[in-house]
Structure 1
Amino acid sequence: MQPDQKLIAFDTSAAHCAAALLLGDQITTRVDEMAKGQAEHLMPMLEEMLRDAGIGWHDLYGIGVGTGPGNFTGIRIAVSAARGLALGLGKQAIGVDGFAARAHGLQRPTTVTIPAPRGQAYVQSLHADGGAAAPKIVPQATLPAPIPAATLITAVARIAASRIGKDNPRPAPLYIRSADAAPPRDPAPIIVP
């Protein structure tokens, strides 16, 4: 990471809008708890953070984004925003999954557990060589103590900053289970020519 590096990271994979602004070694975080409305809230929140720091979008070196697992719609909101910003600004967007964020700074090998809906948990084993097993969903047993959203978004920002300038795939949602949405029970409407 460069000492004057500027990066913004955000995540909407849970019931919050979380963001971190990394300016060299300094980091500012903001977590706004919210069950819904992240799509309307995210961009004004990021604009405010940049304005408060006295910088603009074009001053950034890159964008970090939490890619899940978590809320299906929330993940899409953040990933879409990051990809759109990266395209519009000509900056690199780096996706960081929740397993990597939770394991940031931990000794490997380790196993990371993330709460999931319906009394389940997402689990992934991270190997000492940097590799990882495929994430899976399991019946929830004992979960570790919750990690504050500010800690997780800080990890997303620091991991993304360490990957700037390297060959990274475009951010993509990490889904471990299907969406909860069900197809409508009513027949499709008839379109009259």
Structure 2
Amino acid sequence: MTDAPLVLAFDTSAPHCTAALMRGGELITSRFEEMARGQAERLIPLLEEVLEEGGASWQDLSAIGVGIGPGNFTGIRISVAAARGLALGLDLPAVGVSQFQALACGYDWPVVCSVAAPRDRIYLQTLNDGTRSDPAFGLLDDLPMPHSKAEAAVIGAQAETIAERTGGRVLQPRYPLAEAISRVTLQRMHNVSLPAPAPLYIRPADAAPSKLTPPTILPETQP
């Protein structure tokens, strides 16, 4: 039995349920299932199937990796809550990995990472350029991006259009999503100051609380 760390990573931030098991830098097994709903019921059984396929158990794990978005709000909450619960129950580190970080995994030069959002909008973040820029959300024409002289490469949604503006070239993700999350987790799992995974929403929820005054159910008691 090798002493290399064993990482289980998963993501439900889009209409899918995906997971990967990796020991050291070697992918053992992975699964990807498209689904518009039902991730909450499917996730744990899927993880158990991945562990069984990899000949491992929950007790063999060294860390949990989880996709934190951006993406579907409900899906993100499902996977983040599962990761935090598993990490607590198994006494393991849990690492939250954004879709931007997963897209850029394996590249060490400036890359603009984009993720499709509702109503023709996108989520955008530039990585590996020496800055700590925050993710942005909106229509492509309204979002800031590197100057064309930067020749930043582009991965993700509307990549061709973005590459024309940055002077860079279009790249493909080096790894499938769950495997990329596993690899980033391996890099960061020993960081003792790493915060617990938290959803990366970026944009406000589509459904907002009602601004109407709630009805009085029972009258106040007079003194």
Normalising by structure 2, what TM-score?
A: 0.77
Give, in whole Å, the separation in 2 of the partners of 1:36 and 1:166.
34
Q: CA RMSD in A?
A: 2.4
Cα distance, 1:184 vs structure 2: 5.2
1:161 aligns with 2:186: yes
Q: 1:189 to 1:97 in 2, by over 3 A?
A: same
Give, in whole Å, the separation in 2 of the partners of 1:5 and 1:157.
11
- Aligned pairs for 1:1-193 (under 5 A) are 4-24=4-24, 25-129=26-130, 131-140=131-140, 143-144=158-159, 151-167=176-192, 168-183=194-209, 188=214, 191=217
Work out the percentage of aligned pairs sharing the same amino acid.
48
Q: Note the alpha carbon deviations across 1:47-86, whole angstroms, 9 max, x for none.
A: 1111222221111000000000000111110100000000
**Contact 1:27 1:154 survives alignment (8 Å):** no
Give, in whole Å, the separation in 2 of the partners of 1:139 and 1:35.
25
**Contact 1:124 1:132 survives alignment (8 Å):** no
Amino acid at match of 2:189: I
Aligned residues: 190
Larger RCO: Structure 1 or Structure 2 (Cα < 8 Å, ≥ 6 residues apart)?
1
Structure 1: any 5+ residue segments left out of the alignment? Answer: none
Q: Note the alpha carbon deviations across 1:126-165, whole angstroms, 9 max, x for none.
A: 2433x431111121477128968x7121110010011122
Q: 1:169 to 1:79 in 2, by over 3 A?
A: same
Residue in 1 aligned with 2:167? none
Q: 3-state SS of the aligned residue for 2:201? A: coil
Give, in whole Å, the separation in 2 of the partners of 1:190 and 1:45.
46
Give, in whole Å, the separation in 2 of the partners of 1:36 and 1:22.
26
